[in-house]
Amino acid sequence: MLDRAYMSLPKKTVTGERFEIPDVDSHIQGTKTIVKNFSQILKAANREEKHLLKFLTSELAAPITISEGKLLVSGKFSKEQLNKIFGYYFKQFVLCNQCHKPDTHFIEMQGVKMLKCSACGASYPVKRL
């Protein structure tokens, strides 16, 4: 009985798991674009809100505010545009350029901002915002 129960447990794949950047859930309201799942994206990025906001402000060239976990951008932006910009952020500042895993964090070395990967040990300089 016990053996059978054990056998039928679903196998968990630990390796080869692909990290997915959350899809932007946004809509345009009046003259603003609202990203409803901003807090979820921020959580997936595991970065300081300040850093992501700085990046978005310069990429979108628009004032941004946060309200109740939602991102409010002045101006009208399509989901495609936003997905592209968030994707760019993850590529540059979250995903390791060696192993493509998101297990990374920023370190500072001799005044240079670097991305350090805990999965494969790679570290390389990143752009300062």
Interaction site with Zn ion (CB under 5 A):
96, 98-99, 117, 119-120, 122
Residue 102 neighbours by CB distance under 10 Å: 18
Closest approach of Zn ion to the CB of residue 107, in Å:
14
**Distance from C-alpha of 97 to C-alpha of 6, rounded to nearest angstrom:** 38
* Cβ closest to Zn ion, residue 107 vs residue 119: 119
Closest approach of Zn ion to the CB of residue 86, in Å:
20
Closest approach of Zn ion to the CB of residue 103, in Å:
7
* Cβ closest to Zn ion, residue 94 vs residue 117: 117
**3-state DSSP call for residue 8?**
coil
Closest approach of Zn ion to the CB of residue 121, in Å:
7
* Cβ closest to Zn ion, residue 46 vs residue 98: 98
**Distance from C-alpha of 31 to C-alpha of 7, rounded to nearest angstrom:** 56
**Length of the chain in terms of residues written:** 129
The alpha-carbon radius of gyration of the chain (Å, integer) is: 18
